[in-house]
């Protein structure tokens, strides 16, 4: 919970003041020092419902909770501006391309790690070489052929071929201390040392994480002196703890937004996320998972279009998301470079849907299983989709599964129909991972769970990956998404808004990534 330095002294003063004068001090004076200056030393507690998977570089997954903690401990070479969605300098002050396969980075001087070590080009080279041997960053760093240190603060990264996405890929790579990792590698040490605004103070797995401000941070001191990330069991506990004053910031379930808005002393902050929720299919025609002895009905484009036309997305959003989502038209939103504004959703039209099914030979419909995560939210949403599809004689059997089983089914392609989400880092990764014909050895189509395949799209993807000119890249990306939309590679459903509840004197704008950068939090 947020509290000022010397809060006890201030509270005692207030009590005496009230007793003697019987009046209430005006709101806001707690945010000022005796001479009227704004205070900058606060402690806050942030609630979360998931455990982190570890600290970098020992993390097991790139989940939002884990990254929300780690972004406060480390820095990237370049980081994404949450307003423009462009990469801006961080540990690299600037960069250029001497030729099509060389990226030259000019590094920031005077940066220190939490243990006092100075940051230099040696740390960048070491981090890339260390992490490219891990599955965690293999795909991002596989394009690099060699790294040349020109001086302590200048480094060349050479790619195997023109690779315009390198900056985006490096934008997911936290820079490590070479000296620290080498010295601790044989001790199984997993205490993170970075250059970030905060350093780890205490960690009790499953209970809480305490970070303290790093006063030698290269961007300067943050307002928050200490932040605790505290584990709670569920979203209702988060909400109740915010109301009781136990927590200062929580991510809210849509169900609690109105309650927090009406609670004195609290505020709701909303942000449109770039994540897209979509439904996709098994594209295998024969010997498919759900129809081993019959033709797979959803392998037929007319059937996929019929299902798309039969889903009333506005009704679904209004009934189950309190209007807090935006209908999606493709795998990315306008937050992401390459979004195609000319792609529109297929209109809700039951008559057209029935006609398409009849043309495909499924006038009497069919029965198909739908894999979903085992949560009340997804069960409710999926029940509504099933109800809507029943109007064109398609019978949906819901298959809610625990998280591990759900993702195992998708990974091993043991699914006929599934609902999932995608939070894009960039459009090219979306295309390579979700739309390219799967090829495990080449690292493409890894999350194309239905084995969607279009040779024209694959060819354009290869051209895109070698294209350095920004405008040309945009054209290729938009063309690829248009092909996928015409094929109904998925039925885009919606893009969520995320909601946070906070105490009212916090000034903070959530990021679309949903990572909480504590250095961006200040106070009114």
Residue extents of the structural domains in the chain: 3-55+196-265+504-523, 74-187, 273-497
pLDDT at 2: 38
Q: What are the residues whose beta carbons fall under 8 Å from the beta carbon of 51, sequence distance 6 or more? A: 65, 205, 206, 231
Q: Are the C-beta atoms of 382 and 491 separated by less than 8 Å? A: no
pLDDT at 165: 86
- Distance between CA atoms of residues 288 and 191, nearest Å: 47
Q: Give the HSE-up count for residue 129: Cα atoms under 13 Å, Cβ half-sphere.
A: 16
- Distance between CA atoms of residues 307 and 354, nearest Å: 9
Q: Give the HSE-up count for residue 411: Cα atoms under 13 Å, Cβ half-sphere.
A: 6
Is the domain spanning 3-55+196-265+504-523 CATH 3.30.1330.20? The answer is no
Q: How confident is the model over 470-515, as pLDDT tens digits?
A: 889 999 999 999 999 999 999 999 998 899 999 999 999 999 888 9
Q: Which of 302, 299, 326, 300 is nearest to 313 (CA)?
A: 326
pLDDT at 469: 84
H-state helical runs in 135-222: 138-141, 166-170, 178-184
- Distance between CA atoms of residues 278 and 370, nearest Å: 12
Answer whether residue 341 shows pLDDT above 60. yes
Give the phi and the psi of residue 361 in degrees, each rounded to 5. Answer: 90, 20
The phi-psi region of residue 245 (left if phi > 0; otherwise alpha if psi is between -120 and 50; otherwise beta) is left
pLDDT confidence band for 136 (50 / 70 / 90): low
Q: Are the C-beta atoms of 360 and 303 separated by less than 8 Å? A: yes
Cα 53–chain centre separation: 15
SS3 221: coil
Q: How confident is the model over 390-438, as pLDDT tens digits?
A: 999 999 999 999 988 998 999 999 999 999 999 887 899 899 999 999 9
The pTM for the full model equals 0.75
Average pLDDT, integer, range 254-270:
94
- Using alpha carbons, list the distances in angstroms from residue 511 to 64, 188, 274, 293: 12, 34, 10, 48
Could you tell me where the beta strands, DSSP code E, fall in 168-265? 198-204, 208-213, 224-231, 249-252
Among the four given CATH numbers 3.30.390.30, 1.25.10.10, 3.90.76.10, 3.90.226.10, the one describing domain 74-187: 3.90.76.10
pLDDT at 10: 34
pLDDT, mean over the chain: 89
Class of domain 273-497: alpha beta
Q: Which of 506, 514, 511, 524 is nearest to 227 (CA)?
A: 506
Answer whether residue 54 shows pLDDT above 50. yes
Greater model confidence, 336 or 201: 201
Q: What are the residues whose beta carbons fall under 8 Å from the beta carbon of 122, sequence distance 6 or more? A: 149, 152, 178
SS3 503: strand
């Amino acid at each position: 919970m947020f509290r000022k330095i010397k809060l006890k002294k201030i509270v005692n003063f207030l009590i005496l003041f009230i007793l003697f004068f019987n009046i209430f001090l005006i709101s806001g004076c707690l945010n000022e020092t005796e001479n009227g200056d704004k205070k900058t030393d606060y402690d806050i507690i942030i609630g979360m419902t998931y455990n982190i998977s570890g600290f970098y570089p020992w993390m097991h997954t790139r989940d939002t909770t884990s990254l929300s903690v780690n972004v406060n401990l480390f820095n990237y070479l370049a980081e994404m501006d949450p307003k423009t969605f462009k990469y801006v300098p961080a540990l690299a002050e600037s960069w250029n391309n001497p030729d099509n396969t060389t990226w030259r980075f000019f590094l920031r001087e005077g940066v220190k790690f939490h243990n006092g070590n100075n940051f230099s080009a040696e740390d960048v080279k070491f981090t890339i070489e260390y992490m490219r041997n891990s599955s965690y960053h293999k795909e991002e760093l596989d394009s690099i052929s060699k790294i040349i240190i020109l001086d302590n603060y200048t480094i060349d990264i050479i790619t195997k071929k023109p690779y315009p996405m390198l900056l985006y890929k490096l934008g997911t790579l936290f820079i490590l201390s070479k000296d620290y990792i080498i010295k601790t590698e044989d001790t199984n040490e997993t205490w993170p040392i970075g250059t970030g605004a905060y350093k780890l103070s205490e960690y009790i797995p499953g209970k809480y994480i305490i970070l303290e401000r790093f006063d030698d941070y290269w961007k300067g001191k943050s307002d928050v002196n200490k932040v605790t990330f505290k584990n709670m069991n569920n979203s209702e506990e988060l909400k109740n703890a915010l109301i009781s004053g136990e927590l200062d910031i929580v991510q809210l379930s849509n169900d609690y937004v109105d309650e927090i808005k009406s609670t004195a002393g609290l505020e709701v902050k909303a942000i449109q996320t770039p994540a897209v929720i979509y439904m996709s299919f098994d594209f295998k025609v024969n010997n498919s998972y759900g129809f081993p002895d019959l033709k797979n009905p959803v392998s037929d484009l007319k059937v996929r279009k019929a299902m798309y036309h039969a889903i009333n997305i506005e009704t679904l959003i209004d009934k189950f998301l309190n209007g807090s989502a935006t209908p999606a038209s493709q795998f990315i939103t306008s937050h992401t470079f390459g979004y195609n504004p000319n792609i529109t959703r297929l209109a809700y039209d039951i008559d057209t849907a029935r006609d398409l099914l009849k043309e495909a030979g499924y006038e009497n419909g069919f029965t198909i299983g739908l894999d979903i995560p085992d949560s009340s939210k997804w069960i409710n949403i999926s029940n509504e989709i099933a109800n809507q599809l029943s109007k064109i004689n398609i019978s949906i059997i819901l298959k809610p599964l625990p998280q591990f089983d759900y993702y195992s089914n998708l990974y091993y392609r043991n699914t006929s129909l599934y609902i999932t989400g995608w939070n894009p880092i960039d459009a090219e990764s979306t295309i390579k991972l979700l739309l390219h014909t799967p090829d495990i050895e080449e690292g493409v189509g890894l999350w194309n769970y239905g084995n969607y395949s279009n040779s024209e799209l694959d060819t354009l993807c290869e051209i895109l990956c070698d294209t350095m000119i920004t405008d040309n890249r945009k054209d290729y990306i938009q063309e690829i998404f248009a092909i996928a939309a015409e094929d109904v590679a998925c039925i885009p459903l919606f893009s969520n808004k995320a909601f946070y509840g906070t105490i009212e004197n916090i000034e903070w704008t959530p990021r679309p990534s949903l990572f909480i950068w504590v250095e961006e939090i200040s106070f009114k």
